Amino acid sequence: MRKTTRASTALLAATLVPLLYATSAGAQNLHSWVTTGGTGSDCVFVSPCADFNTAISKTISGGEIRCKGAGFYPPFTIDKAISIVCDDYQAAVTSGGDFQSP
């Protein structure tokens, strides 16, 4: 009986610790959304952000930003590993010229 209790406690701890960490990380998104007419500050599908800088700040490393529409967006800087997915749209990408490989 005692072994079962220890195993249950260990399983519960293994489940709760990642959840507590995710909550304390600032509630960032795995998937964020942008659109030129966006007014949201949380960058979710029903309330997308208007620019990529905000979406990048709201998206966890390894997450993705999706486009809800085509348009002209202000310049932005990618400072972590994320994907920008705009399935139905084409983009023009330019570099600021100061890029240095790690």
Write the secondary structure of the chain as one string of H (helix), E (strand) and C (coil): CHHHHHHHHHHHHHHHHHHHHHHHCCCCEEEEEECCCCCCCCCECCECECCHHHHHHHEEEEEEEEECCCCCCCCCCCCCCCEEECCCCCCCCCCCCCCCCC
Q: How far apart are CA 28 and CA 49, in angstroms?
A: 14
pLDDT tens digits along 54-102 = 999 999 999 999 999 888 888 888 999 999 998 887 777 776 665 555 5
Question: Where exactly are the structural domains of the chain?
Answer: 26-85
pLDDT at 45: 94
pLDDT at 15: 55
Residues near 76 by Cβ (< 8 Å), separated by ≥ 6?
Answer: 51, 52, 53, 56
User: How many residues belong to the chain?
Assistant: 102
User: Is 51 a residue whose pLDDT tops 90?
Assistant: yes
Per-residue pLDDT, averaged over 21-29, amounts to 58
User: Is 18 a residue whose pLDDT tops 60?
Assistant: no
Residue 51, token pair as written in the block: 């620019």
pLDDT at 95: 67
User: Is 21 a residue whose pLDDT tops 60?
Assistant: no
Nearest to 63 by CA among 38, 87, 81, 42: 81
pLDDT at 23: 41
Is residue 5 very low, low, confident or very high in pLDDT (cuts 50, 70, 90)? low
**What percent of the chain has a predicted confidence (pLDDT) above 90?**
42
